[in-house]
Amino acid sequence: MMTRIFFCFPAQVHLLDINGPAHIFYEARELGADLELHFLSLDGAPQATSSAGLAFTRLESFGNFTLGPQDYVFLPGLDRQLLFDAAFNQSLAPFHAWLRVQHGRGAQLCAVCTGAYLLAGAGLLNGRQCTTHWKYLADFRHRFPAALLLQDRLFVKDQNVYSTAGVSSGIDLALYILEEAYGPLLTAQVAKEVVVYMRRTEKDPQLSVFLQHRNHLDDRIHRVQDHLARDLSQGRNLEKLAAAVSMSPRNLTRLFKKTTGLTIGHYQDKLRLERAVALLREGLKVEAVAQSCGFAGANQFRELLKKQAGVLPSQVGSGG
Protein backbone atom coordinates (compact mmCIF):
# COMPACT_ATOMS: atom_id res chain seq x y z
CA MET A 1 0.00 0.00 0.00
CA MET A 2 1.06 3.56 -0.64
CA THR A 3 2.39 5.36 2.42
CA ARG A 4 1.18 8.93 2.83
CA ILE A 5 3.22 11.48 4.77
CA PHE A 6 1.39 14.58 6.00
CA PHE A 7 3.36 17.65 7.10
CA CYS A 8 1.46 20.15 9.23
CA PHE A 9 2.25 23.87 8.93
CA PRO A 10 1.35 25.86 12.04
CA ALA A 11 2.00 29.59 12.01
CA GLN A 12 5.65 30.45 12.70
CA VAL A 13 6.76 26.89 11.91
CA HIS A 14 10.46 26.09 12.33
CA LEU A 15 11.92 25.42 8.89
CA LEU A 16 14.21 22.49 9.53
CA ASP A 17 11.55 20.64 11.53
CA ILE A 18 9.57 20.47 8.28
CA ASN A 19 12.19 20.60 5.54
CA GLY A 20 14.54 17.99 7.05
CA PRO A 21 12.05 15.09 7.25
CA ALA A 22 10.31 16.18 4.03
CA HIS A 23 13.57 15.97 2.11
CA ILE A 24 14.30 12.51 3.51
CA PHE A 25 10.97 11.21 2.24
CA TYR A 26 11.42 13.03 -1.06
CA GLU A 27 14.74 11.24 -1.59
CA ALA A 28 13.14 7.92 -0.65
CA ARG A 29 10.43 8.50 -3.24
CA GLU A 30 13.07 9.32 -5.85
CA LEU A 31 14.69 5.97 -5.05
CA GLY A 32 11.44 4.10 -5.64
CA ALA A 33 9.54 4.15 -2.34
CA ASP A 34 5.76 4.31 -2.84
CA LEU A 35 5.27 7.57 -0.97
CA GLU A 36 2.86 10.47 -1.30
CA LEU A 37 3.59 13.79 0.42
CA HIS A 38 0.92 16.25 1.57
CA PHE A 39 1.32 19.65 3.22
CA LEU A 40 -1.44 20.74 5.56
CA SER A 41 -2.65 24.06 6.88
CA LEU A 42 -3.81 24.10 10.50
CA ASP A 43 -6.16 27.06 10.12
CA GLY A 44 -7.68 26.42 6.70
CA ALA A 45 -5.60 29.08 4.96
CA PRO A 46 -3.65 27.96 1.87
CA GLN A 47 -0.44 29.55 3.10
CA ALA A 48 1.73 29.87 6.22
CA THR A 49 4.85 31.82 7.12
CA SER A 50 7.78 30.24 8.95
CA SER A 51 9.54 31.71 11.98
CA ALA A 52 12.40 32.63 9.63
CA GLY A 53 10.06 34.58 7.34
CA LEU A 54 9.89 32.09 4.45
CA ALA A 55 6.31 31.63 3.23
CA PHE A 56 4.68 28.39 2.07
CA THR A 57 1.70 28.28 -0.30
CA ARG A 58 -0.71 25.72 -1.80
CA LEU A 59 -1.32 24.10 1.57
CA GLU A 60 -4.25 21.71 1.92
CA SER A 61 -6.79 21.72 4.73
CA PHE A 62 -6.32 18.93 7.29
CA GLY A 63 -10.09 18.38 7.31
CA ASN A 64 -9.96 17.04 3.75
CA PHE A 65 -8.24 13.83 4.84
CA THR A 66 -9.09 10.69 6.75
CA LEU A 67 -6.04 8.66 7.75
CA GLY A 68 -5.16 5.09 8.61
CA PRO A 69 -2.24 2.95 9.85
CA GLN A 70 -0.23 3.50 6.64
CA ASP A 71 -0.26 7.26 7.11
CA TYR A 72 2.20 9.47 9.05
CA VAL A 73 1.57 12.98 10.37
CA PHE A 74 4.57 15.21 11.14
CA LEU A 75 3.97 17.97 13.67
CA PRO A 76 6.87 20.46 13.70
CA GLY A 77 8.01 22.91 16.32
CA LEU A 78 7.08 26.56 16.18
CA ASP A 79 7.90 29.93 17.67
CA ARG A 80 7.83 29.83 21.47
CA GLN A 81 5.62 32.93 21.74
CA LEU A 82 2.81 31.06 19.98
CA LEU A 83 3.37 27.95 22.10
CA PHE A 84 2.54 30.02 25.18
CA ASP A 85 -0.24 32.09 23.59
CA ALA A 86 -3.65 31.14 25.00
CA ALA A 87 -5.64 32.43 21.99
CA PHE A 88 -3.47 30.51 19.54
CA ASN A 89 -3.82 27.29 21.53
CA GLN A 90 -7.60 27.72 21.71
CA SER A 91 -7.70 28.16 17.93
CA LEU A 92 -6.18 24.69 17.57
CA ALA A 93 -9.27 22.95 19.00
CA PRO A 94 -10.57 21.73 15.57
CA PHE A 95 -7.11 20.47 14.64
CA HIS A 96 -6.71 18.74 18.00
CA ALA A 97 -10.08 17.01 17.49
CA TRP A 98 -8.98 15.86 14.03
CA LEU A 99 -5.70 14.52 15.47
CA ARG A 100 -7.57 12.49 18.08
CA VAL A 101 -9.77 10.93 15.39
CA GLN A 102 -6.79 10.04 13.17
CA HIS A 103 -4.91 8.61 16.15
CA GLY A 104 -7.90 6.43 16.91
CA ARG A 105 -7.86 5.19 13.32
CA GLY A 106 -4.23 4.09 13.76
CA ALA A 107 -2.38 6.93 12.02
CA GLN A 108 1.26 7.39 13.04
CA LEU A 109 1.76 10.75 14.76
CA CYS A 110 5.27 12.23 14.76
CA ALA A 111 6.16 15.35 16.78
CA VAL A 112 9.43 17.11 16.00
CA CYS A 113 10.93 19.30 18.72
CA THR A 114 8.21 21.48 20.32
CA GLY A 115 5.66 19.84 18.04
CA ALA A 116 5.17 17.68 21.14
CA TYR A 117 3.12 20.60 22.52
CA LEU A 118 0.63 20.10 19.67
CA LEU A 119 0.23 16.43 20.55
CA ALA A 120 0.04 17.08 24.27
CA GLY A 121 -2.54 19.83 23.72
CA ALA A 122 -4.74 17.23 22.05
CA GLY A 123 -4.37 14.94 25.06
CA LEU A 124 -2.50 12.36 23.02
CA LEU A 125 0.55 12.16 25.30
CA ASN A 126 -1.34 11.40 28.51
CA GLY A 127 0.16 8.23 29.97
CA ARG A 128 2.50 7.96 27.00
CA GLN A 129 6.31 8.15 26.87
CA CYS A 130 7.61 11.11 24.92
CA THR A 131 10.36 13.71 24.69
CA THR A 132 10.90 17.26 23.45
CA HIS A 133 13.69 19.81 23.14
CA TRP A 134 15.90 19.94 26.24
CA LYS A 135 15.21 23.66 26.80
CA TYR A 136 11.49 22.98 27.25
CA LEU A 137 11.57 19.91 29.48
CA ALA A 138 10.71 21.73 32.72
CA ASP A 139 7.91 23.76 31.16
CA PHE A 140 6.50 20.76 29.31
CA ARG A 141 6.49 18.66 32.49
CA HIS A 142 4.68 21.48 34.32
CA ARG A 143 2.05 21.99 31.61
CA PHE A 144 1.42 18.33 30.83
CA PRO A 145 2.03 16.32 34.01
CA ALA A 146 0.13 13.30 32.64
CA ALA A 147 2.73 12.84 29.87
CA LEU A 148 5.57 10.43 30.65
CA LEU A 149 8.35 12.79 29.63
CA LEU A 150 11.81 11.31 29.06
CA GLN A 151 14.87 13.55 29.03
CA ASP A 152 18.15 13.10 27.17
CA ARG A 153 16.52 11.01 24.44
CA LEU A 154 16.91 11.71 20.74
CA PHE A 155 13.47 10.38 19.94
CA VAL A 156 10.87 8.19 21.58
CA LYS A 157 8.33 5.78 20.09
CA ASP A 158 5.29 4.75 22.11
CA GLN A 159 2.98 2.61 19.96
CA ASN A 160 1.89 4.86 17.06
CA VAL A 161 3.16 8.11 18.59
CA TYR A 162 6.70 9.40 18.01
CA SER A 163 8.39 12.47 19.50
CA THR A 164 11.86 13.92 19.03
CA ALA A 165 14.33 16.15 20.83
CA GLY A 166 14.39 18.82 18.16
CA VAL A 167 15.38 20.17 14.76
CA SER A 168 17.89 17.75 13.20
CA SER A 169 16.49 14.81 15.18
CA GLY A 170 13.49 15.00 12.85
CA ILE A 171 15.84 13.74 10.13
CA ASP A 172 16.90 10.85 12.37
CA LEU A 173 13.26 10.00 13.02
CA ALA A 174 12.43 10.11 9.30
CA LEU A 175 15.27 7.66 8.59
CA TYR A 176 14.10 5.44 11.45
CA ILE A 177 10.57 5.37 10.01
CA LEU A 178 11.93 4.58 6.55
CA GLU A 179 13.83 1.64 7.98
CA GLU A 180 10.70 0.38 9.74
CA ALA A 181 8.63 0.66 6.56
CA TYR A 182 11.10 -0.17 3.78
CA GLY A 183 14.10 -1.84 5.39
CA PRO A 184 17.76 -0.92 5.93
CA LEU A 185 18.92 -0.99 2.30
CA LEU A 186 16.72 1.85 1.07
CA THR A 187 17.35 3.77 4.28
CA ALA A 188 21.12 3.48 3.87
CA GLN A 189 20.80 4.71 0.27
CA VAL A 190 18.81 7.74 1.41
CA ALA A 191 21.26 8.48 4.24
CA LYS A 192 24.13 8.33 1.78
CA GLU A 193 22.29 10.56 -0.69
CA VAL A 194 21.84 13.30 1.91
CA VAL A 195 25.31 12.71 3.41
CA VAL A 196 24.06 11.54 6.79
CA TYR A 197 26.65 8.89 7.59
CA MET A 198 26.54 8.81 11.38
CA ARG A 199 22.99 7.50 11.85
CA ARG A 200 21.51 7.99 15.32
CA THR A 201 18.89 5.86 17.04
CA GLU A 202 16.20 6.30 19.68
CA LYS A 203 18.69 5.17 22.36
CA ASP A 204 21.13 8.00 21.64
CA PRO A 205 21.27 11.09 23.89
CA GLN A 206 20.04 14.46 22.64
CA LEU A 207 23.47 16.06 22.84
CA SER A 208 26.63 14.47 21.50
CA VAL A 209 29.59 14.44 23.88
CA PHE A 210 31.27 16.63 21.25
CA LEU A 211 28.72 19.31 22.26
CA GLN A 212 28.44 18.52 25.95
CA HIS A 213 30.68 20.18 28.54
CA ARG A 214 30.97 23.24 26.29
CA ASN A 215 28.51 25.46 28.14
CA HIS A 216 31.19 27.74 29.57
CA LEU A 217 32.95 30.95 28.57
CA ASP A 218 36.60 30.05 29.04
CA ASP A 219 38.17 30.36 25.60
CA ARG A 220 41.34 28.57 26.71
CA ILE A 221 39.40 25.45 27.69
CA HIS A 222 37.37 25.64 24.47
CA ARG A 223 40.64 25.63 22.52
CA VAL A 224 41.89 22.61 24.45
CA GLN A 225 38.60 20.81 23.80
CA ASP A 226 38.86 21.66 20.10
CA HIS A 227 42.38 20.28 20.01
CA LEU A 228 41.34 17.03 21.71
CA ALA A 229 38.40 16.53 19.33
CA ARG A 230 40.35 17.40 16.19
CA ASP A 231 42.45 14.23 16.04
CA LEU A 232 41.40 11.40 18.30
CA SER A 233 44.14 9.12 17.02
CA GLN A 234 46.83 11.20 18.70
CA GLY A 235 47.96 10.55 22.26
CA ARG A 236 47.39 13.14 24.97
CA ASN A 237 50.39 15.42 25.44
CA LEU A 238 49.59 17.54 28.49
CA GLU A 239 52.66 19.75 28.09
CA LYS A 240 51.78 20.53 24.47
CA LEU A 241 48.15 21.26 25.35
CA ALA A 242 49.19 23.58 28.16
CA ALA A 243 51.72 25.42 26.00
CA ALA A 244 49.08 26.00 23.31
CA VAL A 245 47.02 28.05 25.78
CA SER A 246 49.97 29.60 27.64
CA MET A 247 49.38 27.73 30.89
CA SER A 248 51.33 25.30 33.02
CA PRO A 249 50.22 21.66 32.88
CA ARG A 250 49.21 21.84 36.53
CA ASN A 251 47.04 24.92 36.05
CA LEU A 252 45.46 23.49 32.91
CA THR A 253 44.60 20.25 34.70
CA ARG A 254 42.98 22.15 37.55
CA LEU A 255 41.08 24.63 35.35
CA PHE A 256 39.83 21.99 32.91
CA LYS A 257 38.31 19.94 35.75
CA LYS A 258 36.79 23.04 37.37
CA THR A 259 35.30 24.28 34.07
CA THR A 260 33.97 21.05 32.54
CA GLY A 261 33.51 18.79 35.55
CA LEU A 262 35.78 16.17 33.96
CA THR A 263 39.47 15.45 33.92
CA ILE A 264 41.20 15.87 30.58
CA GLY A 265 41.69 12.11 30.35
CA HIS A 266 38.05 11.32 31.08
CA TYR A 267 36.88 13.89 28.55
CA GLN A 268 39.15 12.47 25.86
CA ASP A 269 37.96 8.93 26.60
CA LYS A 270 34.34 10.06 26.17
CA LEU A 271 35.17 11.66 22.82
CA ARG A 272 36.96 8.54 21.64
CA LEU A 273 34.21 6.20 22.80
CA GLU A 274 31.43 8.09 21.04
CA ARG A 275 33.37 8.18 17.80
CA ALA A 276 34.32 4.52 18.18
CA VAL A 277 30.72 3.41 18.65
CA ALA A 278 29.73 5.33 15.51
CA LEU A 279 32.48 3.59 13.53
CA LEU A 280 31.42 0.18 14.85
CA ARG A 281 27.87 0.88 13.72
CA GLU A 282 29.26 1.61 10.27
CA GLY A 283 30.78 -1.90 10.21
CA LEU A 284 34.45 -1.31 10.99
CA LYS A 285 36.35 -3.98 12.91
CA VAL A 286 37.35 -3.44 16.53
CA GLU A 287 41.06 -3.36 15.69
CA ALA A 288 40.63 -0.67 13.03
CA VAL A 289 38.39 1.40 15.29
CA ALA A 290 40.86 1.17 18.18
CA GLN A 291 43.67 2.48 15.98
CA SER A 292 41.56 5.24 14.43
CA CYS A 293 40.35 6.52 17.80
CA GLY A 294 43.72 6.51 19.56
CA PHE A 295 43.32 3.54 21.91
CA ALA A 296 46.51 1.72 22.89
CA GLY A 297 45.14 -1.43 21.30
CA ALA A 298 42.07 -3.57 20.74
CA ASN A 299 42.26 -5.03 24.26
CA GLN A 300 42.20 -1.61 25.92
CA PHE A 301 39.28 -0.67 23.69
CA ARG A 302 37.36 -3.84 24.60
CA GLU A 303 37.87 -3.17 28.30
CA LEU A 304 36.39 0.29 27.89
CA LEU A 305 33.49 -1.15 25.90
CA LYS A 306 32.67 -3.55 28.73
CA LYS A 307 32.30 -0.61 31.12
CA GLN A 308 29.97 1.18 28.68
CA ALA A 309 27.82 -1.74 27.54
CA GLY A 310 24.58 0.25 27.65
CA VAL A 311 25.59 2.57 24.80
CA LEU A 312 26.89 -0.04 22.40
CA PRO A 313 25.44 -1.62 19.29
CA SER A 314 24.55 -5.27 19.85
CA GLN A 315 27.30 -6.71 17.64
CA VAL A 316 30.09 -5.09 19.68
CA GLY A 317 29.87 -7.47 22.60
CA SER A 318 31.16 -10.32 20.49
CA GLY A 319 34.46 -8.52 20.08
CA GLY A 320 33.88 -8.23 16.26
Residues 226-244: tens digit of each pLDDT: 888 877 877 778 999 999 9
Beta-sheet pairing, 108-111 with 60-61 = unpaired
C-alpha distances in Å from residue 173, one per residue of 17, 154, 187: 11, 9, 11
Closest by alpha carbon to 158, among 197, 113, 117, 126? Answer: 126
Per-residue confidence (pLDDT) for residue 320, from 0 to 100: 44
Domain ranges (residues) in the chain: 3-193, 219-315
Q: How far apart are CA 228 and CA 270, in angstroms?
A: 11
Per-residue confidence (pLDDT) for residue 315, from 0 to 100: 42
Per-residue confidence (pLDDT) for residue 303, from 0 to 100: 80
Residues 6+ positions from 195 with CB-CB distance below 8 Å: none
- The domain made up of 3-193 has a fold known as Rossmann fold (3.40.50)
The pTM of the full predicted model, rounded to 2 decimals, is: 0.66
Q: Tell me whether the CATH fold assigned to 3-193 matches the one assigned to 219-315.
A: no
Residue 158: strand, helix, or coil:
strand
Per-residue confidence (pLDDT) for residue 272, from 0 to 100: 85
Backbone angles phi, psi at 74, to 5 degrees: -100, 125
Q: How far apart are CA 225 and CA 259, in angstroms?
A: 11
Whether the CB-CB separation of 130 and 163 falls below 8 Å is answered with: yes
Per-residue confidence (pLDDT) for residue 319, from 0 to 100: 42
Closest by alpha carbon to 121, among 132, 135, 134, 108? Answer: 132
Q: Is domain 219-315 annotated with CATH 3.40.50.300?
A: no
Q: How far apart are CA 62 and CA 251, in angstroms?
A: 61
Residues 6+ positions from 131 with CB-CB distance below 8 Å: 116, 149, 150, 151, 153, 154, 155, 156, 163, 164, 165, 206
Q: Low-confidence residues of the chain, pLDDT below 70?
A: 1, 197-212, 215, 217, 308-320
